[in-house]
């Protein structure tokens, strides 16, 4: 048996949603997009426990409502069907009917109960699904277990993303190796009109839906909920996880000795995907990571980190490689969290630029040169507690404006 | 006597902070900026009632602390001294000492009590005031009552603003005409590092500070607090009002028959200045006004209006004259306010683009052509209550990125 690291968690290079046992996937061109793949599916050999997190938007799109309806019945999923190009959002009664039809067609063809099927869409808001093409997708999509089919799925869910996004980690539970893999899409939190951040996670661990939901919600608070490209929330955002129990071990719950390890593994997959989304933000040239330590609570640390990483002024300064810590102060300053200016330290990379309420002398050249790299880390130490948190985003560039000023035309 | 309109309120074209009786002002080049005016002062012949609203930032700059100290003593002001170029923010003990020194020098020269003097600064965060230049400003600034000196003051408070900002309204109280005039600066809520939105309002009305504060706070909630250029809050934001009672009438309070008229006049001055700031947002090419009606409450209407006007995706769509209402949905959707997607209508200009949860057919050409104008109005009717609110902002352009990616270098 393969031996895992100290924490019993190891990243699997090139791992995917098919790395865990018992999953199949596929993606095809059904005609919603001009030439690219636009219709995908994940399938589990056995009905799987599941967890789901949905957008907080008031305008929740029909596919999310259908998915909620499915999960509410037996808390199990066996398939997830996804289309790109059209979000089926803000489409009224007809949109809901279309999402149910999609679910029905897949249930019929794969001979699985309708309530075991989740539906997801991403694309333009306010247009109805072209149902002839959706029908084509439902009748032609193939699911297989080879890595090509994982890649086809990854491609089928993209909109203006420039790269596919996947992540995979393995960990030991009772001496058995279990795998958690994921795929995601997203490049603006709302993509122009091309809505959405979507995340799909598969694992062969044995766990009930109720506990899986707990683990997913925790993981998401420290990952997908901590990225921002433009501060927008889409109508279609959704993260789904399926656990099919193909690796047999005592069912995971809070009392299981490996519960924390499993949660950590799930969080690492989510964090890895979330960072890939942030890095692929519209027009972005680099990943920005903000870490807040010694905050009053973890929640407050996360709030501040997200505020800083989401500030247009910080984002433009990063783009310009300008060590403009006044903008970081500005962003920290207007959060609702507890802050004492007299005890606040700010680092850009390794350089202390602001210490306990007072500007520090530092080499602008060294910091500017650091900020020209692929990843910029900002660290804020508040010295008022033990709370920690991170958030990820990207720089704000001419290309962001270009992409979004002329998206539909 | 001049006759005012039906509402007894009338805009005074070219009116300024010197239109009300008994005020003087001035502005000079003291050497903080390369060539432009950078040091200004407003002076009232008589000690004036006052009101003040300060930034919500945790990092409140020393000049704001000194102003609070002044006002706390007798709730009266006779002079406001302002410098641009250096914000004196995040400057620790020394910064506080420098702000007190400024107040002391003005008190000494103009022979007024220190506690009658407010201090304001705007400019780069994290640098100490060059006190030799501040001393020069304090000893050389002249205050006069002609319109040239109002203009000098307006110029002295600017940083990266491209235009001076002033507004003036008159109204009748007990048959007497009273005047409310204002000056402001601001072009990013935090300007790069050039912090700040500042507003200064003068009136010859007779009113106690306590009531003036009430009226100011209300006015600001519907004006300065409803504009956003980039969602940032500066360390130095401040709005001050002085009422010197040079027009004699029964002291204004809630029971005075003209109380609402006075409040409305103050609000119009604030709204007028606020819109000028929004229109002069960094890199902006147009003013955007979002009006929300039929919301659950006025507060919620204002929250939604501000969310929409602050959305980067809405701002870039406006820049590109793209009738992309999906982005408006996105912004409404992720506010905390009460929203029912089934009853929501959205107008761009006069065109209904979304009606009760369903997309509407409309001419993209007509709407796009409308959006190419100088002012873009978006109206959202929620149909769930009687709350109304407005917010103002600007488009997000290449120039915003340019200005902010390279501000200090």
Instruction: Identify whether A89 is part of a domain.
Output: yes
B304 in the same domain as B255: no
What pLDDT score was predicted for residue B189?
52
Instruction: Identify whether B212 is part of a domain.
Output: yes
Q: How many domains does chain A have?
A: 2
Instruction: Identify whether B296 is part of a domain.
Output: yes
Domain boundary among A223, A241, A275: A275
B196 in a labelled binding site? yes
B317 in the same domain as B234: no
Q: How many CA atoms lie within 13 A of B401 on its CB side?
A: 20
Nearest CA in chain A to B356: A92
Question: Of all helices (H) and strands (E), which one includes residue A227?
Answer: none
What pLDDT score was predicted for residue B4?
53
Those residues with Cβ within 8 angstroms of residue B340's Cβ, 6 or more apart along the chain or in another chain: A58, B382, B383, B384
Q: Report, as an integer, the average pLDDT of B76-100.
A: 95
Q: Report, as an integer, the average pLDDT of B163-190.
A: 90
Those residues with Cβ within 8 angstroms of residue A97's Cβ, 6 or more apart along the chain or in another chain: none
Domain boundary among B221, B251, B275: B275
- A373: domain CATH number? 3.10.20.340
What pLDDT score was predicted for residue A409?
43
B182 in the same domain as B302: no
Q: Report, as an integer, the average pLDDT of B188-204.
A: 72
A chain contacts of residue B408, beta-carbon cutoff 8 Å: 322, 324
A374 in the same domain as A345: yes
| CB A155 within 8 Å of CB A122 | no
The residue with greater pLDDT, B109 or A231, is B109
A305 in the same domain as A207: no
- B63: domain CATH number? 3.60.70.12
Q: Mean pLDDT in chain B?
A: 92
Instruction: Identify whether A280 is part of a domain.
Output: no
Asked if B311's CB is within 8 angstroms of A231's CB, the reply is yes
Confidence of residue B191 (pLDDT cuts 50, 70, 90): very low
A294 in the same domain as A194: no
A286: DSSP letter: S
The token pair at B292 is 């929300």
Candidates B57, B126, B233; nearest CB to A325: B126
Nearest to B38, CA basis, from B48, B28, B47, B46 = B28
Q: Virtual CA dihedral for B265, B267, B272, B275, nearest 10 degrees?
A: -170
Residue B8, phi-psi category: left (phi > 0), alpha (psi -120 to 50), beta (remainder): left
- Using the Cβ of A230 and the Cβ atoms of chain B, whether some distance falls under 8 Å is answered with yes
User: CA–CA separation, B49 vs B45, rounded Å?
Assistant: 12
Select from B404, B406, B409 the residue whose CB has the most chain A CBs within 10 Å, as the one to mutate to test that interface: B404
pLDDT tens across A27-57, in order? 999 999 989 999 999 999 999 999 999 988 8
- Using the Cβ of B332 and the Cβ atoms of chain A, whether some distance falls under 8 Å is answered with yes
Indicate if the pLDDT at residue B196 is higher than 90.
Answer: no
B167 in the same domain as B40: yes
- Using the Cβ of B372 and the Cβ atoms of chain A, whether some distance falls under 8 Å is answered with no
B159 in a labelled binding site? yes
* A291 φ/ψ angles, rounded to the nearest 5 degrees: -115, 130
A-B contacts at Cβ under 8 angstroms: 216
Q: Among A196, A202, A203, A235, which one carries the catalytic annotation?
A: A196
Residue A110, phi-psi category: left (phi > 0), alpha (psi -120 to 50), beta (remainder): alpha
Q: What is the secondary structure of B39-72 as a DSSP string?
A: EEEEEEEEEEEEEEEE---SS--HHHHHHHHHHH
Helix (H, G, I), strand (E, B) or coil at B151: helix
pLDDT tens across B21-44, in order? 999 999 999 999 999 999 999 999
Helix (H, G, I), strand (E, B) or coil at A228: coil
What pLDDT score was predicted for residue B42?
98
What pLDDT score was predicted for residue B232?
72
- Using the Cβ of A373 and the Cβ atoms of chain B, whether some distance falls under 8 Å is answered with no
B105 in the same domain as B253: yes
Instruction: Identify whether B109 is part of a domain.
Output: yes
User: CA–CA separation, B246 vs B140, rounded Å?
Assistant: 27
- Using the Cβ of B231 and the Cβ atoms of chain A, whether some distance falls under 8 Å is answered with yes
What pLDDT score was predicted for residue A154?
97
Nearest to A330, CA basis, from B189, B139, B358, B351 = B189
Nearest to A409, CA basis, from B352, B395, B364 = B364
Asked if A359's CB is within 8 angstroms of B316's CB, the reply is no
Asked if B233's CB is within 8 angstroms of A334's CB, the reply is yes
Candidates A55, A56, A401; nearest CB to B396: A401
Domain boundary among B244, B275, B306: B275
B376 in the same domain as B323: yes
Candidates A124, A230, A327; nearest CB to B190: A327
Indicate if the pLDDT at residue B131 is higher than 50.
Answer: yes
Asked if B322's CB is within 8 angstroms of A409's CB, the reply is yes
Instruction: Identify whether A130 is part of a domain.
Output: yes
The token pair at B26 is 């001035």
Asked if A397's CB is within 8 angstroms of B58's CB, the reply is no
Select from B193, B330, B393 the residue whose CB has the most chain A CBs within 10 Å, as the one to mutate to test that interface: B330
User: CA–CA separation, A286 vs A271, rounded Å?
Assistant: 17
User: CA–CA separation, B325 vs B346, rounded Å?
Assistant: 8
Instruction: Identify whether A282 is part of a domain.
Output: no
Question: Of all helices (H) and strands (E), which one includes residue A180?
Answer: strand A176-185
Report in angstroms the alpha-carbon separations of A81 from A64, A142, A262, A276, A328.
Answer: 12, 11, 26, 22, 42
Which regions of A349-409 does DSSP assign to beta strands (E)? 351-355, 358-359, 375-381, 387-394
What pLDDT score was predicted for residue B55?
87
Nearest to B14, CA basis, from B151, B172, B197 = B151
A chain contacts of residue B334, beta-carbon cutoff 8 Å: 55-58, 232-233
| Structure-token match 């019993």, residue found | A8
Catalytic residue IDs of B: 196
Indicate if the pLDDT at residue B406 is higher than 70.
Answer: no
The token pair at B199 is 């507003």
**Domain of residue A60, residue span:** 9-275
- Using the Cβ of B317 and the Cβ atoms of chain A, whether some distance falls under 8 Å is answered with yes
B398 in the same domain as B346: yes
What pLDDT score was predicted for residue A406?
67
User: CA–CA separation, B187 vs B197, rounded Å?
Assistant: 7
B chain contacts of residue A125, beta-carbon cutoff 8 Å: 326, 329-330
B200 in the same domain as B55: yes
The token pair at B19 is 């239109």
| Structure-token match 């420290």, residue found | A222
Residues in chain A: 409
Those residues with Cβ within 8 angstroms of residue A11's Cβ, 6 or more apart along the chain or in another chain: A167, A168, A169, A268, A272
* A367 φ/ψ angles, rounded to the nearest 5 degrees: -70, -40
Indicate if the pLDDT at residue B1 is higher than 70.
Answer: no
What pLDDT score was predicted for residue B159?
87
* A318 φ/ψ angles, rounded to the nearest 5 degrees: -65, -45
B234 in the same domain as B368: no
Confidence of residue B67 (pLDDT cuts 50, 70, 90): very high
Write the ipTM. Answer: 0.78
For residue A76, the Cα-to-chain-centroid distance in whole angstroms is: 21
Q: In 10 A of CB A113, how many CB atoms?
A: 13
What pLDDT score was predicted for residue B160?
82
B251: DSSP letter: P
User: CA–CA separation, A91 vs A191, rounded Å?
Assistant: 17
Nearest CA in chain A to B308: A232
Per-residue pLDDT tens, chain A, 409 aa: give them. 344 554 689 999 999 999 999 999 999 999 999 899 999 999 999 999 999 999 888 889 999 999 999 999 999 999 999 999 999 998 989 999 999 999 999 999 999 999 999 999 998 888 999 999 999 999 999 999 998 999 999 999 998 888 999 999 999 999 999 999 999 998 765 444 444 789 999 999 999 999 999 999 999 999 998 888 776 778 888 999 999 999 999 999 999 999 999 999 999 999 999 999 989 888 899 999 999 999 999 999 999 999 999 888 899 999 999 998 988 998 898 788 999 988 999 999 999 999 998 889 999 999 999 999 999 999 999 999 999 999 999 999 988 888 877 655 4
Instruction: Identify whether B4 is part of a domain.
Output: no
What pLDDT score was predicted for residue A189?
53
| CB A8 within 8 Å of CB A172 | yes
């Amino acid at each position: 048996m393969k031996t895992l690291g100290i924490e019993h968690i190891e990243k699997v290079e090139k791992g995917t949603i098919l790395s865990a046992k018992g999953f199949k996937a596929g993606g095809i061109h059904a005609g919603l997009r001009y030439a690219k793949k636009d219709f995908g599916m994940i399938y589990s050999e056995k009905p799987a426990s599941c967890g789901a997190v949905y957008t907080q938007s008031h305008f929740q799109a029909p596919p999310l409502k259908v998915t909620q309806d499915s999960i509410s019945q037996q808390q199990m999923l066996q398939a997830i069907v996804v289309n790109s190009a059209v979000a089926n959002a803000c489409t009224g009664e007809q949109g809901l009917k279309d999402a149910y039809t999609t679910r029905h067609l897949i249930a019929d063809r794969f001979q699985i109960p309708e309530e075991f099927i989740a539906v997801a869409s991403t694309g333009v808001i306010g247009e109805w699904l072209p149902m002839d093409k959706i029908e084509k997708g439902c009748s032609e999509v193939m699911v297989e277990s080879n890595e090509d089919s994982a890649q086809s799925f990854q491609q089928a869910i993209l909109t203006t993303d420039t790269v596919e996004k996947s992540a995979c980690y393995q960990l030991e539970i009772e001496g058995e190796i279990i795998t958690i893999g994921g795929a995601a899409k997203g490049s603006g939190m709302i993509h122009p009109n091309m809505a959405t951040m979507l995340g799909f996670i598969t694992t062969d661990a044995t766990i009930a839906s109720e506990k899986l939901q707990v683990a997913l919600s925790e993981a998401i608070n420290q990952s997908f909920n901590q990225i921002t490209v433009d501060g927008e929330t889409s109508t279609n955002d959704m993260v789904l996880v399926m656990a099919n129990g193909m690796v047999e071990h005592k069912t995971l719950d809070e009392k299981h000795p490996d519960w924390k390890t499993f949660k950590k593994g799930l969080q690492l997959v989510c964090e890895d995907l979330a960072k890939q989304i942030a890095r692929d933000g519209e027009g972005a040239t680099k990943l920005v990571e903000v870490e807040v330590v010694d905050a009053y609570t973890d929640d407050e640390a996360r709030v501040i980190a997200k505020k800083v990483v989401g500030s247009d002024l910080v984002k433009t300064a990063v783009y310009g490689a300008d060590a403009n810590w006044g903008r970081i102060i500005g962003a920290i300053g207007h959060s609702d969290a507890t802050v004492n200016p007299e005890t606040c330290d700010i680092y850009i990379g390794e350089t202390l630029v602001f210490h306990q309420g007072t500007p520090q002398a530092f080499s602008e050249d060294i910091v500017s040169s650091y900020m020209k790299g692929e990843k910029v880390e900002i660290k804020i130490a508040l010295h008022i507690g033990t709370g920690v948190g991170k958030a990820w985003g990207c720089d704000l560039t001419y290309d962001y404006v270009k992409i979004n000023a002329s998206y539909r035309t």
